[in-house]
Amino acid sequence: MTNRCIMTRYADFVNHYPWRRRLRNRLRDSAVFLLSLRAASPAGRGAVRILCYHHLFDDERAGFDRQLGYMKNLGEFLSLDDGVALLRSGNVIDGNYFCFTFDDGYRNCLSNAVPILHEHGATAAFCVVSELAGLAPGADPDPALLTRILGFSPDPNRWRVEFLSWEECRQMRHAGMTIVAHSLTHRRLTSLTPAEARAEMRGSLEDVRTQTGERSLHFASPFGRPVRDFLPDRDPDLAREVGLHSFLTLESGPNCRGADPFRLKRNHLLPWWGDFQMKYFFAPACPE
């Protein structure tokens, strides 16, 4: 068997993206910098901001630590359970709150994200894909699934990207983290029939409960964009039917008083983003 390296650096990870995607990301960063110059100061209150990360490679630790310090100056950290409960209550939101989520279940979140979260007095919800968490030790994911998760196909003879096992998910629960259902196979819900979409939600929820003892009832939509990735007039209702208490999307913006728990917004962040990017994405505020 070929000896492969574990991918530990974001610099190696991002180099697998097609050049067009790398160029688009650079242009986007430049545009966000210019827009941030005119963005309002992100000090508005009355919001629950749910943040979505994915990986935390070794060379992203310092950036993530800095971002948590930036957010701590703007508000308070809440667990996802407490943030959703506050929104469901309908009560006035008297502060600026941040909830952390990590999608897809990268193993580097256990070694890198959890210690930094603890240092800042924060917790996070880790959204895991059943088929990845259930892999036998040393087994490779289905190539199609891996491509859906990563956005590219790594050279199978050189690199290996690792994901959390169910045992490691149990360790994270013991460390105060939450485990969230993120589907069985990470397929776009829009590509599925109602029965298939329902099975992805119910099956992943049951796996999380059975494997970890988690009582969390949240579901994070794969990819998460409305219309393209999930059907707004169908999939949140399916989540209600299977007994879930929330449906997490990747629509950006703050969750304000009265927000629908089955259409929760999340801001997608990368740990290396600077303060100007944070300022821009946190500028939208809830109405007074």
Mean pLDDT of 11-32: 88
Residues above pLDDT 90, as percent of the chain: 79
> What's residue 26's pLDDT?
87
Identify which of 248, 3, 273, 260 has the alpha carbon closest to the alpha carbon of residue 126. Answer: 248
DSSP of the chain: ----EEP--HHHHHTTS-HHHHHHHHHHHHHHHHHHTTSPPS---SEEEEEEE----GGGHHHHHHHHHHHHTT-EE--HHHHHHHHHHT----SEEEEEEEES-BTHIIIIIHHHHHHTT--EEEEE-HHHHTPPTTPPPPHHHHHHHHSS---TTTEE--B--HHHHHHHHHTT-EEEE--SS---GGGS-HHHHHHHHHHHHHHHHHHH-----EEEPSS--BTTTB-TTTHHHHHHHTT-SEEE----SPEETT--GGGB-EEE--TT--HHHHHHHH------
CATH for the stretch 43-177+247-282: 3.20.20.370
pLDDT at 288: 74
- State residue 1's pLDDT score: 40
**What does the pLDDT read at residue 42?**
67
Residue 44 has a pLDDT of 64
14, 217, 221 from 230: Cα distances, Å: 26, 19, 7
Give the number of residues written for the chain. 288
Q: What is the mean pLDDT of the chain?
A: 93
> Above 70 in pLDDT, residue 101?
yes
Paired tokens of 281: 């994405």
The average pLDDT across 180-190 equals: 98
Contact call for residues 27 and 161 (beta carbons, < 8 A): no
CA distance to 37, 66, 120, per residue, from 275 (Å): 11, 9, 18
Q: Report the Cα 229 to chain-centroid distance in Å.
A: 15
The pLDDT tens digits for 110-161 are 999 999 999 999 999 999 999 999 998 888 899 999 999 999 887 877 888 9
Q: Read off the pTM.
A: 0.95
Question: According to the model, what pLDDT value does residue 3 have?
Answer: 64
Instruction: Look at residue 287 and tell me whether its pLDDT is greater than 90.
Output: no
Domain locations along the chain? 43-177+247-282
Give the pLDDT confidence score for residue 223 in this predicted structure. Answer: 97
Residue 229 has pLDDT above 70, yes or no: yes
pLDDT value for 33:
83
Over the stretch 25-71, which tens digit does the pLDDT of each residue have?
A: 888 888 888 888 888 776 667 899 999 999 999 999 999 999 999 99
Higher confidence at residue 1 or residue 49?
49
Report the C-alpha gap between 218 and 242 in whole angstroms: 11
